[in-house]
């Protein structure tokens, strides 16, 4: 049985035929070809698949596409404008907040949810917030620095 899912994806109204069991991340990557959102663990632990749904960060490997019917979904592709990186992306670049880059889209989308809740998060709060995002390269130190710098750039 298929069903029609309609959502606002990165500001555009889109719809697709999906199965009940289709995951949001499959819809985003395989159907809409937005491959910035990654599948790391596929078990809702690593956070590489974090997107925003109705303004909140969610793990899109653990949301059914059907659950996003009528929702506003935004992915990492929504951030850069006219070829210019979002301040949070720029901060990751400037602070060496990534090595292989696989976790980075999820890190950035998670960080933006944190900043939406608290425009000036402290280091402890940033580290606590990153509970659901795994990075196997950096040891997190520069990611934490990047998020603090990104938050500061967004405030100014």
Partner 1 sequence: MYEFNYRRASSVSDAVASSGQSDDASYLAGGMTLIPVLKFRLASPSDIIDLAGLGELKGIRTENGAVVVGAMTTHAEVAGSSEVRQPIPALADLAESIGDPQVRNRGTIGGSIANADPAADYPAAVVGLGATVHTNSRTIGADDFFTDMFETALEPGELVTAVSFPVPDRAAYMKFPNPASRYAIVGVMVSQSGEEVRVAVTGAGGSVFRVPEMEQALAVNFAPEAVAGISVSADGLNEDIHASPEYRAHLVTVMARRAVAAAG
Interface with partner 1 by CB under 8 A: which residues?
A: 1, 3, 19-21, 23, 42-45, 47, 50, 56-59, 62-64, 66-67, 69, 110, 113-114, 129, 131-133
Q: Compute the distance between CA of residue 13 and CA of residue 94 in angstroms, rounded to an integer.
A: 34
Strand order in the sheet with 2-9: 12-19, 2-9, 72-74, 50-53, 56-59
Residue 15 or 56: which CB sits closer to partner 1? Answer: 56
User: Cβ(103)–Cβ(133) under 8 Å?
Assistant: yes
Between vectors from CA 55 to CA 81 and to CA 104, what angle results, nearest 5°? 55
Q: How far is the CB of 6 from partner 1 (least distance, A)?
A: 13
Residue 21 or 33: which CB sits closer to partner 1? Answer: 21
Residue 91 or 111: which CB sits closer to partner 1? Answer: 111
Q: How far is the CB of 37 from partner 1 (least distance, A)?
A: 13
The token duo for 88 is 């949070």
Residue 43 or 156: which CB sits closer to partner 1? Answer: 43
Q: List alpha helices for the chain, DSSP H.
A: 24-26, 87-94, 104-117, 123-129, 141-155
Q: How far is the CB of 84 from partner 1 (least distance, A)?
A: 28
Q: How far is the CB of 145 from partner 1 (least distance, A)?
A: 20
Residue 17 or 84: which CB sits closer to partner 1? Answer: 17
User: Cβ(103)–Cβ(135) under 8 Å?
Assistant: yes
Q: How far is the CB of 91 from partner 1 (least distance, A)?
A: 19
């Amino acid at each position: 049985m298929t069903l029609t899912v309609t959502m606002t994806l990165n500001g555009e109204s889109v719809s697709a035929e999906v199965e009940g069991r289709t995951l949001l991340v499959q819809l985003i990557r395989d159907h809409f070809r937005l491959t910035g959102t990654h599948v790391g663990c596929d078990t809702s632990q690593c956070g590489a698949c974090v997107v925003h749904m109705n303004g909140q960060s969610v793990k899109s490997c653990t949301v059914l596409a059907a659950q996003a019917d009528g929702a506003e979904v935004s992915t990492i592709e929504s951030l850069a404008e006219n070829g210019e990186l979002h301040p949070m992306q720029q901060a990751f670049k400037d602070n060496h907040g990534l090595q292989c880059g696989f976790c980075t889209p999820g890190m950035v989308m998670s960080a933006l949810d944190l900043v939406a809740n608290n425009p000036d998060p402290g280091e402890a709060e940033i580290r606590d917030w990153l509970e659901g995002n795994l990075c196997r390269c950096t040891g997190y130190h520069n990611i934490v620095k990047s998020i603090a710098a990104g938050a500061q750039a967004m405030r100014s």
